[in-house]
DNA sequence: AAGGTGACAGTTT
DNA sequence: TAAACTGCCACCT
């Protein structure tokens, strides 16, 4: 389908545990492309409707803001999904972001 | 083939 | 401390 980079992004996102979140930059670093965070976001943009579905709502920017919420069907859909996983959000900002943060480099540590 | 874009991030004002 | 500027690189037209 698309590039290996996209598939790698999707694979990592699929590994994000329930109730945890990570950042675009963290994923990029894990893939060895530390400066390609924007491209990671681009990959998520193309992640709609792919099979199997990936938890794109668990990916936010480095400060825990739901920067991509507008790309979900309903603008508040992303927040709803996260809240359903026990993550508290206030004004598009994840509360206790560090507490929920999941760094693939640290947690997967390959 | 060449230039523009962005669901980011780090640096500088 | 907060806002603005600049790199970045994979993707798209």
> Could you tell me the domains of chain A?
4-100 (1.10.10.10)
Q: Which nucleotide is nearest to A33 (CA to C1')?
A: C9
Query: Would you say the pTM of this structure is higher than 0.75?
Result: yes
Q: Which nucleotide is nearest to A61 (CA to C1')?
A: B8
- DSSP-assigned letter for residue A21: B
Kindly report, residue by residue over A54-96, the tens digit of the pLDDT.
999 999 999 999 999 999 988 899 999 999 999 999 999 999 9
Picking from A107, A101, A103, A94, the residue whose alpha carbon sits closest to that of residue A20 is A101
Q: Which nucleotide is nearest to A78 (CA to C1')?
A: B7
Residue A46 CA to residue A68 CA, distance in Å, equals 12
* Nearest protein residue by Cα to C1' of nucleotide B10: A35
Q: What is the mean pLDDT of residues A33-45?
A: 94
């Amino acid at each position: 389908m698309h590039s290996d980079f996209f598939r790698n992004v999707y694979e990592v996102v699929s590994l994000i545990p329930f109730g945890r979140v990570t950042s675009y930059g963290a994923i990029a670093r894990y893939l060895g492309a530390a400066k390609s965070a924007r491209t990671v976001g681009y990959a998520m943009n193309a992640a709609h409707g792919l099979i199997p579905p990936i938890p794109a709502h668990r990916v936010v920017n480095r400060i825990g803001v739901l920067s991509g919420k507008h790309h979900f069907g309903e603008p508040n859909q992303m927040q709803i999904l996260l809240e359903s996983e026990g993550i508290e959000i206030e004004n598009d900002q994840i509360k206790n972001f560090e507490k929920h943060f999941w760094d693939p480099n640290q947690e997967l540590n390959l």
